[in-house]
């Protein structure tokens, strides 16, 4: 079976002074193409840490992460950057738009990095898709939180990623705005077949995904089909 993401015996230990803090302890799971997965768990359980490792932003203390069949532990930072640029999209709780670039410029970055000629038209299309046609040349601080998050969704889908990581994408937004953001995420997932991995506290959101991985104290305590999936 080909998995888009495989995590094997993954551990992450932080050293602060002489004390060691094991944040993730022997994590294992595999995720298939086009799956939507949510990672839930109490605060401090290691969700963000796990996401960072899976996306190749951080290096594990032990164990391996494989993305699209390629082990990423052995890769250099720049090789992982290339991988991220080609195959991965990101959405953050605090949006992480570049304040000095306009909305459309923010969206274009991943494609421009690849040297693509269609960056502009594609970015326009995506911003249109998330309903920000008229705000393209606005700077992030001229946009509301929900608008900023829509820009970052457009940016995340711009390079047609195989897998998209979102760390509490609706955490900073009110319920209605949060819902519309979720809608965009799932619609785009359906349209493009992107694998979705969402870290969230929001159980309703979690229940909209196919699969829920529960973390507690750095360990996977449950890994099950979600309610919707179970019903099907």
Q: Which is nearer to other proteins, 111 or 213 (CB)?
A: 111
Q: Are 67 and 5 in contact (CB under 8 A)?
A: yes
Which of the residues 13 through 72 are near ligand ATP (CB under 6 A)?
A: 14, 16, 21, 23, 41, 43-49
DSSP H/E element including 220: strand 219-225
Binding mask 69-108 for other proteins (x = CB under 8 A): --------xx--xxxxxx-x-x-x---xxxxxxx--x---
CB of 63 to other proteins, least distance (A): 17
Please name the residues in contact with 73: beta carbons below 8 A apart, sequence gap of 6 or more.
59, 60, 64, 65
- Contact present, 156 and 174 (Cβ < 8 Å): no
Applying the rule CB under 8 A, the residues between 134 and 173 that interact with other proteins are: 139-141, 155, 159, 167
Among 11, 48, 66, 85, the residue binding Mg ion under the rule CB under 5 A is 48
**Helix, strand, coil tally for the chain in percent (to 5):** 40, 30, 35
* Token representation of residue 107: 């969206």
Binding site for other proteins (CB under 8 A): 16, 48, 51-52, 55, 57-58, 77-78, 81-86, 88, 90, 92, 96-102, 105, 109-110, 112-113, 115-117, 139-141, 155, 159, 167
């Amino acid at each position: 079976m080909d998995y888009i993401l495989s995590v094997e015996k993954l551990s992450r230990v932080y050293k602060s002074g002489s004390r060691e803090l094991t944040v993730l302890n022997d994590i294992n799971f595999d995720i298939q193409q086009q799956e939507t997965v949510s990672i839930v768990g109490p605060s401090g359980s290691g969700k963000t840490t796990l996401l960072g490792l899976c996306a190749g932003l951080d290096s594990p203390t032990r164990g391996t992460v494989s993305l699209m069949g390629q082990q990423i532990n052995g890769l250099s930072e720049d090789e992982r950057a290339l991988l991220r640029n080609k195959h991965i999209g990101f959405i953050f709780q605090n949006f992480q738009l570049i304040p000095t670039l306009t909305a459309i410029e923010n969206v274009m970055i991943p494609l421009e990095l690849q040297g693509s000629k269609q960056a502009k038209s594609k970015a326009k299309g995506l911003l249109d898709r998330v309903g920000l046609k008229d705000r393209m040349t606005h700077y992030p601080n001229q946009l509301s939180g929900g608008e900023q998050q829509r820009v970052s969704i457009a940016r995340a889908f711009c390079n047609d990623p195989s897998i998209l990581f979102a760390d509490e994408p609706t955490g900073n937004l009110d319920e209605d705005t949060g819902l519309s953001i979720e809608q965009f995420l799932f619609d785009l997932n359906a349209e493009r077949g992107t694998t979705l991995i969402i870290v969230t506290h929001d159980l309703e959101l979690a229940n909209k995904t196919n699969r829920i991985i529960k973390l507690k104290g750095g360990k996977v305590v449950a890994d099950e089909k979600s309610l919707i999936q179970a019903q099907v």
